[in-house]
Every structure is written in C-alpha cells, then in structure tokens.
A and B are shown apart, each in its own frame.
Chain A
Amino acid sequence: MIEFTINNQPVCAQKGETILQAARKAGFYIPTMCYLEKTTPCASCRLCVVEVDSTDGLILSCQTPPTAGLAVTINSDRLEKERTNIMKLYDVNHPLECGVCDKSGACDLQNKTLEFAVSAQNFSAKEQHRPVQHWGLINYDPALCILCEKCTHVCNEIIGDDAITLQFGGYKSAVVPKNSDVLDCTFCGECIAVCPVGALVSSNFQYTANAWELHQVPSTCAHCSAGCSLTYEVKHASIATGTKEKIYRVTNNFEVATLCGAGRFGFDFDVHATKDEELFTKAVEAFKNSKAIRFSSIITNEEALILQRLKEKFGVKLFNEEARAYQSFMAAFGSVSGKNSFSGSLESIAQSDAVIVLGGRVSTDNPAVRYAITTAARHNGAKVIYMHPLEDELMQNVITQMVKYEAGSEEGVIAMLAKTLLNGCDVSDEIQSFLNGLDEGYLCAESNVGDEEFAQISKTLIRAKRKTLVVGLDILNHKNSANIAKLCGLIEMATDFSVVVISQHVNTVGVSLICDLDSDKPTDNVVGYNASGDFTVGSMGVCDMLVPALNSQEGTVTSLNYQVLSMNVAIGFEGYCLNDIANELGIREVNTIDYTSQLPIQKGFKGVDFDSLSNFYGPLGEDNRGYILEMMDVACDGVIDDVCQLPEYNGTIAYACNPVNQFNIYTAHTTQLEKDNALRGSAQFAIAARLAHGDRVTIEGHVGTKTFIIDETLKGTIALNPFYEESTANRGYRFEKIKLTKVES
C-alpha cells in the first residue's frame, strides 16, 4: 500500500496502481478522453493531467504510479486551463454533424465540450477532404476521428487481431488497416464499442436510430459458453410495422468487458409465432407419448430443469450427447481433483503469466478465451504454449511455443505434459508409479512431440507464478476423454496450475449440472427440443412448433466460469414456450423463471429468485453479474488408467472447426455475420485429396455439398470443416478421417 494525498486528502493505492486508478477508487473525478480501464494507457489525450509537489511540470495521472507521501492536486486553475485548451484543440474542425451522427447523445466529445464550456473555435486549420471508409461491417469517418487510439489499443492488446494502426501525419493522421488496404480482421467490432465519437460505427446500424431512442435490455450472449455480458438495444422496426420491435444493435460495457463479433453483430436470431392451439395440443401429445427428449445446450437453466422434471415424472430419457460428454469429462476430472468444477476462469487466464492451451482451436471455439490469452500475453508478458495438431493463424502473434502433436494422440500428450508439470511435485506413490511407468519413447514417437519440447515447456514455466491450463473442445469427445480428464484433474490437484475446461454451447455447463442425461440410442417417439426428433420443438430452422429463442426469453445460463448469468427479453414472443407444455403435463409453475430458485443446490446453485439476480459491472469494473456456483466436494476415488495404444489418423483428415464468428445454427441465421461454410485445406491437402481450388465436394457421411478452398495459412493434411449450419447434435471426436467425392457441376 502506498499512501499519498489527493487535494490534501489521504488516499491509498495498491502496488501497480496509477494515480488515476487510485483517485477513481477514492471517488475523485479526473476527466479523461482516451483512458480505457482494460488496456494499457493510450496517453494520447493528456486530459488527465495533475499537479504533483515533486515536480513543476504537469504529469499524466493515467500512467504514473504514485510514490509514498506524494501530494497530488487534481483541480486548479492551471489544470482547468490546460484541459480546456485540450478540448478546444479537439474541437478544431470537428464536423458539426451532431444532428445526424450516431454517437450524438452518448458522445464523449460532446460531453466534455459541454463540461469545459467550449463554445467557439479558437484555433483554425485548413479543412481537408477525408472521405468515409467502408470496411465491411465497420464504417470509419476520419473527419470525426479524434485519434484517441482506444481502438488500436483494444485491437492489439485485448483482441489480438492487430488489424488497425495509427498512420501518423500530424493533422492528417488517421486510423488505417495495418499492412493492408482493406480491413482484414475477425470483425469483433470492439473498436466500434470503444470509439468515443462517431468515427467508427457499425455499417448496419449507421444512421438508423439515435442513441436516446433505443431501449436497452441487459442480457447475456447466447452463442458460446463464455457468457459475455451484452445489452440489446431495441426500437420499433419501422413506421410501417407499427409497434413491432427490432434489435438495432448490441453494446457492451467496453471499459471492462469484451465482446466478439458474433455477440455484437449476430443478434437477429429471434423467431416469431402466434398461439396456435391445434399445434400446441399436438406438441403436448408428442411430449406425453415420447420415450425420449433430445435437446441442445442452447437453452436456459430453467428449461433444463423443466426437462429434468419431465424425466422424473414420466421417465422419459434425456438425450444430449454434447453435454453428456462434458458431464462425464467433469465427473472423471472431479474423481481425481476432488471438486465438481475447476479453479480457473476467464479472469484467471487473463491474469496468468503462463498459459498452456491444449486440444482446441480457441480462437474460433471461444473468442473470449482467445481475448483472455491475448490480454495475458500483452499485459503480463505471459508465455503461451499452444498444443494442437493445427497451427492457428489468429493466435500466432501471442504464441511463444507451438507444440504440434498428431491428431488423436491427446492422451499421450497430456500424460507427458502431466509428467513434465508434476516434476518435483509431492504426489502419492500410486501416481508417481503411474508417471514412471509411462512409455515415453512410444508416446513421444506416436504423438510426434519430442522430449526437448517438454523440456522447453518446463524451462518456460520456471519463472511463471500464475499458470493456467486451458483444455479445449477436442478433448471432450476423445475416445479416452475420461482418462484425459483424470490427468487434467491430476494437474489441477497436484500443481499450481488452474485448469479451465472449455464447453461448447452457452449452457453446456448448466445442462450438465441439472440434467441426468442418457446415452443417445435410436429410439421411437423422440421429441427434439432445439434438436432433431420425430416431433421437433425449437427456435431455429424448421421446427414443428416454435418456441422463443434466447433473445426472447427470461432465464439464466451457466457460463464456462460456472457463473449463473441472466438473460432478458429483447424481442417479445407471442407463442407458447416449454413451460406452457410442462403446465399441460402437470408440472406447474406460472413462469419459466419460477424455476430459477429451484435449481439444484447440491450442485452449487444458490436458491435465489431470477429477479434478485443483478446483471451489470460496477463503476470500478466489479462483476455484479448473477453469481458464481459454489465448488462442491466430490469423492476423490478416480484411478488413472495406463496410457496404452494411441489412435492413429492418416490420410485426409477433416477437423470440425467453424469460421470466426460462427458457432451454431443461430449465428448461421443472422444477417450480418459472414456465412462461409467452405472446406478449407492446405495446398498439400489438395494434392492428397486430388482437389483443386473451388471444387464442389461431398463428404461421406455428411449431408450436402461444400466448396473446397485452398487456404494459404494452413499446412499439413488436415482440412477445416465448418459445421455451424448443421444441427446442434454432438459430432463426436473433431478429427475425422474423411472420404471426399468431387461433384461435377
């Protein structure tokens, strides 16, 4: 703790905090234009200047840590004059188009100009012609840009795309795509969110609504398991449609949280229906006669509980292979670690100084994990060890060590990794003998990861203090996932690593905790709830009966952090929902959210009402969203099996992997997100599969045809096969030996 004074009042700062942070915590106001809590200081606006007793000049509070006993003055005539002058300079030639600007009413420049009472332009510069740039989903107006550099900082430090940069040229400076004429990035839209003026805007949203007209609905993103907070902004669709509402855009609390492109641009997946009595009766009948319900994890905790109640009352089976894979993984994990969940979280990844990513393409599976890793690498200089059969172009600039193993050999790799990480740890004799008994020669040869690579890993980790192991989606469906889970549990238990297991869908964790799932076997009379079945009820594509999508529902989901997060209704839904069907079947509650307080306490849920769950970040970045599940003790009786034969994958292999910003059938139905379902392979793959760029192919065992594209960024004989347009059913292990047939057109 460092004690100093602000305006003669005593203030304490933590080590590493700046004057600005300490001042804000203590409730002092220092104006800023370019400051972002989650990045390193841009230090471009100079509005946060303060006076200190130790030096005559003004210092920037955003990047200066206080020293003990320092006397800081944050408002004086001199500072006021300095700040007013900065605002006068900001306003030079800023186009007076507030009338049409999207940012008007929520604009930092407007606010600060009024705050400092700048009512005239005191300086002049020759006006230049700066046309608006169209970068796909993003429009950039250089005339409005105040060059605060927030956008370049988030793009580089948090997202990791590093796609935009500042082109210096004095008054002609502007934000430009880096090393390219057009913007080539993952279109997360975070630059739009942080832009304090209307320079960077969503091209779809631009000039369609004003900030003050939009009704804000705080909710949670429904696309991946990260459960990012977002706000749907809603207004009537148009004059012609009367009171019918539409989501115009999605915003987020960009000061502390981050959102990917799917969350920001993929918001219009709502469906509409009316109360059709006949269809409803049919649906109730179908549920009554069903032997099993197959469902996806893109549902709320409450819906999962209703399904579980249906199982308890009628003895129907519940099929959800994807959540079951996660459930059994976590069961095996817990049987060694002794807890029902893991200790890591997205925050712990961001705060680590060493991260191992194993078995998953995190950049597309779960962008929030990628952003956390980028944050760790950029802010803490974290070493990132990336272990996967495929290189990932998007992760290249944060990875310090790429460990490429053979597809299918995950069990061997993690066994060797466990041995490396546990070296020197105090473990039981049983485990020690297991580690000693590993056939290193065989495992290294089969996985194609050499001894020296593991030696390098342990060397990298020597100085690291906060270490995280990220277990990717590949592992969950591996043939030997149970044993891999135990090995992960061992790493969690015995080392100082915190483990994060990535789950696929928004509520995989919730479903795995709430539902007793059965193994999916061919059965008659299966009702599909957001999944395939003899009678389908769902909110996507072609269903027999429509129920509300997740942006039309109240309820909670459980994120991969084991955090219960609430969702709210952005767009009203006129039809029936699962709760209505359950009521007909004798499982009675007035609203779906009445189940929130009934979620199983023995699994860590707290019996709180939906309405008492908050959903916001505090002014200092405190996470006031829902609650985190309590970690429960489980029996620690797992025995790690010996690692024997590793499976081999030869020939042409496809890896089930979606393009950026595409996750599932919901994102596939949104208007703004790019829908690229081409099979992507390297030039080497094309030769092996005897294909040329642009060929139409069918994949044996899969429906439909796809275009084959040669991707220069790929290597080896593994192609990327997008699956987001297919149903949410589990696909099994993500690497698959495929047979391709060329379709003559």
Chain B
Amino acid sequence: MHVEPLQDRNVSELSAYYYVDIPDYPETGWDKFKQVMKRTFKGELFVGLWVVLREMIKFDIHTVKYPLEKLPIGPRYRAVHKLLRLWESGFERCIGCGLCEKICISDCIRMDTRIDENSRKEVTEYSINLGRCIFCGYCAEVCPELAIVHGERYENGSEQRAHFVIKDDMLTPLDWLTSGQQQEYPGFGAITPNESVKSTPLAY
C-alpha cells in the first residue's frame, strides 16, 4: 500500500479511512445496567477458553522454546561485536585506526596498539565493555576496514553489571576462516568469499 491514501485524512470512498461501526454509549442508568447484564450472561468468556482448550488438544504449538530454541536473527541485527579476518591472508582486518574508540558514544571501546617487527601498526588488545555498550552500531559503521561488525550473540546475561569482551573473544578463529565459517554481511564494500579471493601482492 502506498502512503498517499493514508495522507488524506478526510474519510471518503477514495481514502483508506472508513468509519467503524461502534454502537452508542449507554447514557441512562437503565441502559448501563442492561449492558452489564448482557455482557455477564452472554458466555463470551467461554468462547476464549474454548479456543485455548481446542488448540491444546490439537498439539499445534507455535511457542519458541527459548533457550532450547532460538529465532533466526536478521543479518543486520546489532548484537555482540565480532572482529573479522581478511579472507585472502588470514590477517586481522583491524588496523588500529582508533575511529571506533573515538566515535563510541558510550565510551566503551579501548584498544592497545604498538609498532610491530614489520613497522606496521599492530592491535595488541581490544576490549568492549558490554555493560556500557548500547549497541548503536556506530563502531561498525565507522570502521574503514569492515573489521568490527555486529554478530548474532545477543545474550548478555552475566554476574556483573560490567562485563567485557576482549580481542580473543571477538576475533574469527583461523580454522573458522579456512572452513568458510566467517560470516560476511552484505552491504557497502562487502566481499563475497569465493575462489576469486587471492592474496594481495605486496612486493614490488
């Protein structure tokens, strides 16, 4: 349905709006008494109870048996973060630019970086305080390398109010990467992992 008919608030045959058939409200005391008696003795209650009983006997139950059973989550759902690896080399995608740390509005991301043996920036530790995180998705949005993304783990129950995820928790394990279990999220700059992914030649 288009929004245009809804924007016309005048009720007519052309518009999407129509009058609902609502009986008049009782005004006198007698009318009110009649309404109460009608509702009390009509047996409407048993209509509902019968529906429940009927469905119970049929054993056709739609309730999701959480936590034994979980509903599938949309690929863009923003749950606990993941750090991804490069398909072609297995290196960490995170370059340690610090943009996620900077943009984080609840100030819950911190990272330690250093210069490694190859004179490149190395992220030695990365942590997110899930007690503070509001799962706004800014970190994933600002990441220039598609390194930090939101995963599908939404259970945050813990003994403490503040609980953290550290780099090892979030980073795709290498064996997952090789077995193709690293999940990619479609969108700007995303890659489709297949045979065409090759390592970038770095040497001149």
Which A residues contact B (CB, under 8 angstroms)? 98-100, 104, 127-129, 131-132, 134, 139, 203, 206-210, 212-213, 236, 238-240
In the bound complex, CA of A388 to CA of B89 (Å): 63
Contacts of A239 in B (CB 8 A): 110-112, 125, 127
In the bound complex, CA of A84 to CA of B121 (Å): 32
**Measured between C-beta atoms, what is the minimum distance from B127 to chain A in Å?**
5
Judged by a CB distance under 8 angstroms, whether B115 is at the interface is yes
**Measured between C-beta atoms, what is the minimum distance from B140 to chain A in Å?**
16
Other-chain residue from B114, B119, B144, B204 in contact with A99 (beta carbon distance below 8 A): B144
**Measured between C-beta atoms, what is the minimum distance from A95 to chain B in Å?**
12
In the bound complex, CA of A206 to CA of B99 (Å): 17
Contacts of B145 in A (CB 8 A): 99
Judged by a CB distance under 8 angstroms, whether B52 is at the interface is no
Given known contacts A127-B204, A208-B114, is B97 in contact with A213 (CB within 8 Å)? Answer: no
In the bound complex, CA of A239 to CA of B168 (Å): 14
Other-chain residue from B120, B125, B204 in contact with A240 (beta carbon distance below 8 A): B125
Taking A98-B97, A238-B112, A239-B125 as known contacts, 13 extra A-B pairs with beta carbons closer than 8 A to each other, sorted by chain A number, are A100-B120, A104-B97, A207-B115, A208-B113, A209-B113, A210-B97, A212-B98, A212-B102, A213-B98, A239-B110, A239-B111, A239-B127, A240-B125
- Which residues of B from 114 to 145 have beta carbons under 8 Å from A? 114-115, 119-122, 125, 127, 144-145
In the bound complex, CA of A127 to CA of B204 (Å): 9
In the bound complex, CA of A134 to CA of B117 (Å): 11
Which residue on chain B has the smallest CB distance to residue A213? Answer: B98
**Measured between C-beta atoms, what is the minimum distance from A272 to chain B in Å?**
20
Contacts of A236 in B (CB 8 A): 110
> Could you tell me how many residues of chain B have their Cβ less than 8 Å away from some Cβ of chain A?
22
Other-chain residue from B96, B102, B112, B204 in contact with A100 (beta carbon distance below 8 A): B96
In the bound complex, CA of A208 to CA of B97 (Å): 10
A99 and B97 form a contact (CB under 8 A): yes
Judged by a CB distance under 8 angstroms, whether B174 is at the interface is no
In the bound complex, CA of A129 to CA of B201 (Å): 13
A139 and B119 form a contact (CB under 8 A): yes
B102 and A213 form a contact (CB under 8 A): yes
11 A-B residue pairs with Cβ-Cβ distance under 8 Å, sorted by A, are A100-B95, A100-B97, A100-B120, A100-B121, A139-B115, A139-B119, A206-B115, A207-B113, A207-B121, A212-B102, A239-B112
In the bound complex, CA of A213 to CA of B96 (Å): 13
B125 and A210 form a contact (CB under 8 A): no
In the bound complex, CA of A240 to CA of B145 (Å): 25
Contacts of A206 in B (CB 8 A): 115
In the bound complex, CA of A104 to CA of B98 (Å): 11
**Measured between C-beta atoms, what is the minimum distance from B99 to chain A in Å?**
8
Contacts of A139 in B (CB 8 A): 115, 119
In the bound complex, CA of A207 to CA of B95 (Å): 10
Contacts of B102 in A (CB 8 A): 210, 212-213
In the bound complex, CA of A206 to CA of B113 (Å): 9
Other-chain residue from B99, B122, B144 in contact with A207 (beta carbon distance below 8 A): B122
Other-chain residue from A98, A99, A208, A213 in contact with B101 (beta carbon distance below 8 A): A213
Contacts of B111 in A (CB 8 A): 239
Contacts of A134 in B (CB 8 A): 119
**Measured between C-beta atoms, what is the minimum distance from B134 to chain A in Å?**
20
Contacts of B112 in A (CB 8 A): 238-240
Contacts of B113 in A (CB 8 A): 207-209
Which residue on chain B has the smallest CB distance to residue A131? Answer: B119
Contacts of A128 in B (CB 8 A): 204
In the bound complex, CA of A258 to CA of B59 (Å): 84
In the bound complex, CA of A74 to CA of B125 (Å): 50
**Measured between C-beta atoms, what is the minimum distance from A171 to chain B in Å?**
15
In the bound complex, CA of A236 to CA of B122 (Å): 18
Contacts of A210 in B (CB 8 A): 97-98, 102
